[in-house]
Chain A
Amino acid sequence: MNNSVAKEKIVSLRKKRSLEDMRFKYYGFTAMCLSLAVLVFLLYTIFSKGYTAFQKTIVLLEVDYNQEVLKLTPDSSDEEMEKGKFFRVKKQAIENFFPDLSKSDIKLIKKLFSINVDNEIKDYFLENPEVINTKQQIWVTAHSDVDQLLKGNSRRDVPEDRRKLNDIQLSYVDQLVEENRVKQVFNNFFFTKADSRHPEIAGVAGSFMGSLFTLFTVFILSFPIAIGASVYLEEFAPKNRITELIEVNISNLAAVPSIVFGLLGLGVLLNVFGLPRSTPLVGGSVLALMTLPTIIIACRASLKAVPPSIKEGALAVGATKTQAVFHHVVPLALPGTLTGTIIGLAQALGETAPLIMIGMIAFIPNIPTGLTEPSAALPVQIYLWVESAERGFQEKSAAAIMVILIFLFMMNAIAVFLRNRFERKW
């Protein structure tokens, strides 16, 4: 082959090679754009469906705190006030909501208000006891049906028998809007109340606390065990068949479907050990089992990443093995371990199936205050709300997804922060 032919060949091949470069760059860019688009679409759907849940509809109601109706006096003690007949005050207020109402209309109007109105009237009075024997204009929570109608989530152009509100109720709502006796405000109930059968007063506080307690249990159980196991396997265990087998099976465990762990919790923790059903204690234990392999794998990887020269240096000045490991190797591996732990916790936070198995799917209308109290968890709460037929729960489930996403985002932010904070160069 003569020289110029060879040169030509090189040039043409060079062109082909640079084209290849370009093509791959383009493919990669397209793939990234696609995944970003999917992510944006997902977030948009969730947000557009859920943002209305952060608002609630309230109605102006004139309440007459008449002492006869309440069966109280201005000198009543706090205990007596608690037992005031507030439902009678409410009944009276609704009867006088519009002038000259018929009995059937009163029944219809009653359905425009939330079941929680009794409590709101009472709370207002307990906070301001001096209003006894006066008439007060109070904003109270509207029924979810009114709320959904005004938010535009339920349509009014469908036949009356397929609507939640009939024509008479609709006309009353319209009248309220006209008279400015109804408005939308920030929905504090969503963040302060537990689950409820009534969408307008259902909130994520209960399931949020449940998730928090569950994660706490997961952390307390899995972190020390995972550190112990991985330090032993990485630094102390002899390298033989048995430890190899254990290592392989830890990786296998990480891939076991979570519902299997749920079955384990049901069969062993609930039925054999008789731990209380539906509690963060049991949920956390099951999720801890599920998270352990993940944390162990992350922890071992970060222990492996510590340069052996550091350990050798410590041993060479006469440190015992334990001292070398716990004074030098473990602190250096800690950022990676913490990151792995938080990733594991984030995984546990989103897990639904095992919690269903151990009964955390029960309807819990209270905010739990301890590890052994029945409670829900965020993902299960979402599952429950998505399942319910009522319109009001649809926006709630999207909003709860937002809450869980923000929770996850914050956990990841903490992981990044911890990693940067404690990472040391060597």
Chain B
Amino acid sequence: MSNSKILANGVDVYYGSKQALFGISMDIKEKEVTALIGPSGCGKSTFLRCINRMNDLIEICKVSGSIKVDNEEIISEKTDVVSLRSKIGMVFQKPNPFPKSIFDNVAYGPTIHGLVDSKNELEEIVHSSLKKAGLFDEVKDRLNEPGTSLSGGQQQRLCIARAIAVNPEIILMDEPCSALDPIATAIIEELIDELRLNYTIVIVTHSMQQAARVSQKTSFFHLGELIETGDTKKIFTNPDNSKTQDYITGRFG
């Protein structure tokens, strides 16, 4: 049994007066892929964005409860959000490379965190991150071209490379394949399977097949509540809750 990496306890989220999450408690294990599934607007992205405090950007969003990462409370005024985010990388729904070169995209994180002392070191990090993201062979001859010139799937892998360049422990993925075609999706899914060996991954997805393919644990959200969480195999074959059963068999959502 692996250790728990993220421990959420009674997380409530309000957007203004509207409550979006109701007392979410969940335990995310180290070096596993946890998939968050559920119909649109069920709060799975909101929960994901609590983990690296991206919800801070939304003025009216209020988070209460407790989330512990490596036994450290992160829902607190005292949390150093910047170092939290360097520990928890994030990949977004739509690929969002910076309008800079491929190299600079990956180099940005290590540079601002002062992880490198020399140009060679930086190059090494950029190359190894691109390799880990399975993109290096495709772009090694054109590292100076803009990141936005890549195809959608390549851009998303560039964003993954950018996230792992700062050497995080956790990677959050918010529907990383929803803007991609099936082939690019397959490549990313394969990549997620490899990354699992070194990183704890939390992925939000609309595709139940994807959740079944890439994750070890699955959590089902519905109307802001966590209905059921457990081994992916169990959730997809023999869920405890009838709502989960209805959702995965396509009766609603």
Contact = CB atoms under 8 A, between A and B. Distances in A.
Interface of A: 238-239, 307-310, 312-320, 323, 327-328, 332, 424-426
Contacts of A320: 82
A424 to B, nearest CB: 4
Contacts of A310: 96, 98-99
Interface in B153-183: 159, 162-163, 165-166
Given A309-B92, A312-B92, A317 B85 contact: yes
The secondary structure that dominates the A interface is: helix
B54 interface: yes
A318 B96 contact: no
Contacts of A425: 99, 148
Contact of B162 (A315, A317, A327): A317
Given A309-B94, A327-B108, A316 B99 contact: no
A223 B165 CA distance: 36
Nearest to B84: A318
B53 to A, nearest CB: 9
B92 A313 contact: yes
B97 to A, nearest CB: 8
Given A309-B92, A327-B108, A426-B148, A318 B98 contact: no
Interface in B33-70: 52, 54, 57, 59
A322 to B, nearest CB: 11
Contact of A318 (B83, B99, B159): B83
Given A312-B92, A313-B98, A318 B57 contact: no
Contact of B57 (A307, A312, A319): A312
Contacts, number: 67
Given A313-B92, A317-B166, 11 more contacts: A238-B59, A307-B96, A309-B92, A313-B97, A316-B52, A317-B89, A317-B108, A319-B82, A319-B108, A332-B99, A424-B146
B54 A312 contact: yes
Taking residues whose C-beta sits less than 8 angstroms from the other chain, chain B's interface range is 20 to 34
A422 to B, nearest CB: 11
Given A313-B159, A332-B99, A426-B99, A318 B85 contact: yes
The 10 closest A-B pairs by CB, nearest first: A318-B86, A317-B109, A309-B96, A316-B90, A424-B99, A318-B85, A313-B96, A426-B99, A318-B82, A320-B82
A307 B57 CA distance: 14
B113 interface: yes
A351 B97 CA distance: 43
Nearest to A323: B112
B86 A317 contact: yes
B98 A316 contact: no
B59 A239 contact: yes
Contacts of B89: 316-317
Contacts of B166: 317-318
Contacts of A308: 57
